[in-house]
Amino acid sequence: MSQDMMSTKEVARYLGINEKQVYLLVKSKKIPSTRVTGKWVFPKRLVDEWIEKNAKQGLEEAKRKVKMISGALISSGSNDPLLDILQSELRKRHPELFLFSTNIGSTEGLKALNAGYTDIAWSHLFDPETGEYNVPFLKIYIPNIEPVVINLFYRELGFVVPKGNPLKLKGFSDLKKRGIMFVNRQKGSGTRLLIDQYLNEFKIDPEEVSGYENEVNTHLEVGFSILNKKANVGVASVAVSKLLGLHFIPITKERFDMIISRDLFFNKGIQAIIDLLHTREFIAKVEGIGGYDLRDSGRVIYSGEGS
């Protein structure tokens, strides 16, 4: 089938749902589709537009509801288990504050911030030309606001494989091995962009990687896919390997930041998050996991004033 058109099976895989759910969407006229020679086909461009429209509507609705709650912030973008700890500790110390989060990937998080759908964007986008994280992408994805970039932590990112590393995986060149079943991250996520950069560097065609099209939205989902034997290698943070008892092969250490508009910097919730990063309790929990570096936590990396 043409790359511009997808079959029911292909669109189900593309959306990460089963074919029955696709037929329900067709029946309720919620997904762009057409019938050709008795079969349903789906124009990829229109499906992409439909996905983006629904994501925006969901964020708009979330933002509307959050505004109704005093002391509430909405965050979106990348994902890391430490964000769950941060959210839990924030609630414990400040029960009057609410931090709602959605995992849509670094790129979409920045776009949502620019559109006003979210208060905070979590991001770890790496620019290979400058060797810098996040800052080179500000003018591209958030041109409508004056951003402030605050570091949360540095983390180890690497291959997560079954305990004992039975396939003896060492690096990206091994992804072409027989028996490899990869689990990928969703398009637009910082991890997906990093994976694609490395594949390009090693001159590996994604079609040579079995399972490349198998996408999930979080680091924990990568780990669970391996734990449940749906895959045997993926890229995730070191925290996932430790929490799930999986083998970890380091790839890089990356910077993970919180990005907000400048006029929100002195918001009570934002300041509470920054203060929390320096508490003994939070630091102890992070050190207990290992693989994280808090040396710049809470530091303003960029504020648009020559930072």
Rounded CA separation 63/41 (Å): 34
Sequence-separated (6 or more) residues with CB below 8 Å from residue 68: none
pLDDT at residue number 2: 52
pLDDT at residue number 171: 93
The angle at the Cα of 246, spanning 244 to 252, to the nearest 5 degrees, equals: 110
pLDDT at residue number 46: 84
Rounded CA separation 220/81 (Å): 8
Question: Considering only CA atoms, which of 62, 83, 129 is closest in space to residue 257?
Answer: 83
Whole-model pTM? 0.74
pLDDT at residue number 68: 47
Question: Phi and psi of 264, rounded to 5°?
Answer: -100, -5
Q: Could you tell me the mean pLDDT of each successive run of 10 residues in the chain, 307 residues long?
A: 76 80 80 84 84 67 54 88 90 90 91 92 94 95 95 96 94 92 92 94 94 92 94 94 93 96 92 94 90 94 73
Rounded CA separation 236/234 (Å): 7
In our burial notation (b when 16+ CB lie closer than 10 A, e otherwise), range 248-280 reads bbebeebbbbbbbbeeeeebebbebbbebbeee
